[in-house]
Amino acid sequence: MEFLKLYFIMGSQDCMDRTPEETLALAIEGGITCFQYREKGTRSLGEIEKYELGKKLRELCGKHRIPFIVNDDLPLAIALDADGVHVGQDDENAKYIRETIGPNKILGVSTHTVEEGLQAVRDGADYLGIGPIYPTISKEDTEKQQNLDIFTKFCNTGISLPLVAIGGINSTNGETVMKAGANGLAIISDICRASHIPEHTKLLRRLVDEF
């Protein structure tokens, strides 16, 4: 799944000096391959504002043919006709999500152990999120940091789904993560907080395209 290579995740709480719409537009210009709308945390929007912003971001992704994934909000994903849903271990049950959205939408599941990965496969996931790989400032409820050998462990168990790494990944350590076996990089802060988002995103895109 080539669209998972440079996976940008963002909500209004992640944007500092730019609006979410501006931030996403600049990231698309730089070459992201997928976008996840993750509106979570103490500074996130209320339900109505969340939906209104989602419509704008969905339209922007559709215009540029970028897959639009919604994080842990099935009703919102349905309302926005999102291309898929991503859930964590403490979110809505992945099997229920798959049954609800059907076979043609994308389902991503965050996993931290081989057992969780195998269960996600059984539940119908299309890809697995693996992390946090490094310390991160973007999530308030992160799990224990993973060792890079987790990608080898997943593959040795027979899991063939794409593995997307997340957590503190940037242009400095991204190559190391890809070499460890990740199929794609999910990035929040390193794109959102870049001084020149298009240029920095292009750098990241060149990095992942080498694999």
Residues carrying an active site annotation: 38, 110, 139
On the CB side of 89, CA atoms within 13 Å amount to: 16
Count CB neighbours of 99 within 10 A.
12
Q: What are the residue ranges of helices labelled H in the chain?
A: 20-30, 47-63, 74-79, 94-101, 114-123, 150-156, 174-179, 189-192, 197-209
The number of helix segments (H) and strand segments (E) in the chain equals: 9, 8
Q: What is the DSSP code (8-state) at residue 73?
A: -
Going from the C-alpha of 178 to that of each of 146, 149, 175, 185, the distances in angstroms are: 14, 12, 5, 8
Tokens of 25: 């537009």
Q: Which of 142, 193, 198 is nearest to 170 (CA)?
A: 193
